Amino acid sequence: MTDAYKLPEVWTWEDETGGKFSSINRPTAGAQFERELPIGKHDLQLYSLGTPNGQKVTIMLEELLEHGVQQASYDAHQIEIMNKDQFSSGFVAVNPNSKIPALMDYSTSPATRVFESGSILIYLANKFNSFIPKDHTQHTECINWLFWQMASAPILGGGFGHFFSYAPKHYKYPIDRYTMEVKRQLDVLDKELKTKPYITGNEYSIADMAIFPWYGRLVQNRVYKGAAKFLDAEKYINVIRWADKIATRPAVIRGLEVNKPG
């Protein structure tokens, strides 16, 4: 057991704290350099990366195109976060929080900026009247699960994922704490999916698109190498069934490849 951390009266930032992302994390916001964002030929301009949060949006856009919604055609621009692209003046103007994904819609006047993956999914669903239930009860259920994902994924990514994969060394307390919570979340999904094909019922929706890149890919061992075995993910048979079904959708296959590094 390592010595307990002694809390200072006032926390101060140290330039290098270790871990994969220590070189880009800062306790301040705003642009760090001037650079405009590229703009392609379509009304929808996506600035993103092939992470689970980015994949939610590209899956949605590809699903819209799969269903013949040509107005959903888009240009995808890679934002390489390890190169600090998210701190350019152009990107900060689209998302002041400097996180991917971010979207500009030039079909409106003035152009509309949309940031936060959940907000982008709702925006596109409303704009194209697709992948969100029309029935009041089912619509609310869809939003329930979308917000569940938005609230829960930081535990998986910033908590479990960080200490399991990215921290400079493994620490028992945070790994135990976040593993317990991620397994609880998987159990929530597994129980919910026991009697229905999709998270809101019989209808595939933006809630599934939001949850799949994180939790679906987790049980398929596509998020954090070795995590599926560590979490004993094979026991969540309903989540695996649901994930495997979604993973075969042509639009999902394409959406997972957009903005993918390399």
Residue 9 belongs to a domain: no
Residue 142 belongs to a domain: yes
State how far the Cα of 18 lies from the Cα of 105, in Å rounded to an integer.
38
Walk along the chain (262 residues) and give the pLDDT tens digit of each residue: 457 888 999 999 887 666 677 778 889 999 999 999 999 999 999 999 999 999 999 999 999 999 999 999 999 999 999 999 999 999 999 999 999 999 999 999 999 999 999 999 999 999 999 999 999 999 999 999 999 999 999 999 999 999 999 999 999 999 999 999 999 999 999 999 999 999 999 999 999 999 999 999 999 999 999 999 999 999 999 999 999 999 999 999 999 999 987 6
- Measured CA to CA in angstroms, residue 114 lies from 17, 73, 189, 229 at distances of 32, 16, 28, 37
Q: Is the peptide bond before 27 cis (omega within 30 degrees of 0)?
A: no
Please tell me the predicted confidence (pLDDT) of residue 247: 98
Residue 44's DSSP bridge partners are: 74, 105
Residue 165 belongs to a domain: yes
- Check if the beta carbon of residue 118 is closer than 8 Å to that of residue 146: yes
Please tell me the predicted confidence (pLDDT) of residue 227: 98
Structural domain span for residue 238: 136-255
Q: What is the domain-level CATH number for residue 170?
A: 1.20.1050.10
Looking at the 3D structure of the chain, how many domains does it have? 1
Residue 158 belongs to a domain: yes
Do β-strands 74-78 and 44-48 pair in parallel, antiparallel, or remain unpaired? Answer: parallel
Please tell me the predicted confidence (pLDDT) of residue 169: 93
Q: Which of 146, 130, 151, 134 is nearest to 210 (CA)?
A: 146
Residue 129 belongs to a domain: no
